[in-house]
Amino acid sequence: MEVISGEPIAVVSSILVYPIKSCRGISVPQCFLTPTGFRWDRQWLVVNSKGRAYTQRVEPSLALVETELPNDALLEGWKPNKCSYLVIKAPGMDELKISLTAPQEVANDVSVWEWYGSALDEGAEASKWFSNYLGKPSRLVRFNAASETRPVDPKYAAGHKVMFSDQYPFLILSQGSMDSLNTLLEEPIPINRFRPNIVVNGCEPFAEDLWREIRIDNFTFEGVKLCSRCKVPSINQETGIAGPEPNETLKQTRSDKVLRPDKKQQGKVYFGQNMVWKNNAAEEGKAKVMKIGDPVYAIKKISNVAEAAA
């Protein structure tokens, strides 16, 4: 492993937060960091009548659900009051407002992938809204951080946790990787297909594959696992309609067979790097807000993608 220091290798070009899992993200100029991800990221989840999570894999129309937060809600130290709302919009639907103060009602037997637990239920109005939109019984629930924890896979990042994210607190992707992929596609696609949290610009395509440890301004992140992709990148986030691309091209260029030919083959494709915030002692006492334009430094990196955890 190579240990590096010196000049920045990239800058943060976009920061994205997804308040409701599988719904549309919000592009923000800055955001407060927490150990489970950016503040408000995947804090809400739409579930069916049995408490099982809905995602775009089975309900692609969730891609059309927009969310808005108060501008100050992304800053350190901000606290919601009775006039603070998560605003939810979708085609053909009236606007729904969800109070950012925690609800009192509890929903038991909520599940997302491997995790089961309780969550906070956002009530009848939200349930009716999502039931009408999806055409089936639904509820909107909120992660209850006061009583629940959801650890990530200890094989890759022991001691870290998430709310309703798929696997890890942060997903980083470089604009160079996106541009490289688009040169191979007949019709270029936007980066929102891959739902990153942090987009960086200025580095070589797929440089993020090799990052074992980076620093963004004063914050240290560990690259723990290449991000294996499901069908969601094939869903047009403006229409909710799936197509063959970019997944077909990714199979040809970013599969484990191509990137990791000497490793055990799992039939996966990779795009982006999962990361955790190390939150070390040197960062204590400093403001915990990441901003667009923050410099990115490579601290440790591996020599080739075949060495990366996946």
Q: What is the pLDDT of residue 76?
A: 87
Cα radius of gyration rounded to whole Å, the chain: 19
Q: How far apart are CA 142 and CA 186, in angstroms?
A: 40
List the structure tokens of 18: 């997804």
Q: What is the pLDDT of residue 272?
A: 98
Q: How far apart are CA 107 and CA 138, in angstroms?
A: 12
Q: What is the pLDDT of residue 274?
A: 98
Q: What is the pLDDT of residues 87-132, one digit of tens each?
A: 999 999 999 999 999 999 999 999 999 999 999 999 999 999 999 9
20, β-bridge pairs: 44
Residue 102's SS3 state is coil
Q: How far apart are CA 287 and CA 162, in angstroms?
A: 21
DSSP 303: S
Q: What is the pLDDT of residue 287?
A: 78
Set out the domains of the chain in order of their start, with CATH numbers. 2-16+153-307 (2.40.33), 27-148 (no CATH)
Q: How far apart are CA 129 and CA 43, in angstroms?
A: 18
Q: How far apart are CA 267 and CA 269, in angstroms?
A: 7
pTM of the model: 0.95
Q: How far apart are CA 206 and CA 178, in angstroms?
A: 9
Angle at 203 between CA 274 and CA 4, to 5 degrees: 80
- Mark the ranges of the chain whose per-residue pLDDT is less than 50: none
**DSSP string for residues in 141-205:** EEE-TTT--EE--HHHHTT-EESSSSS-SEEEEEHHHHHHHHHHSSS---GGGG--SEEEESSPT
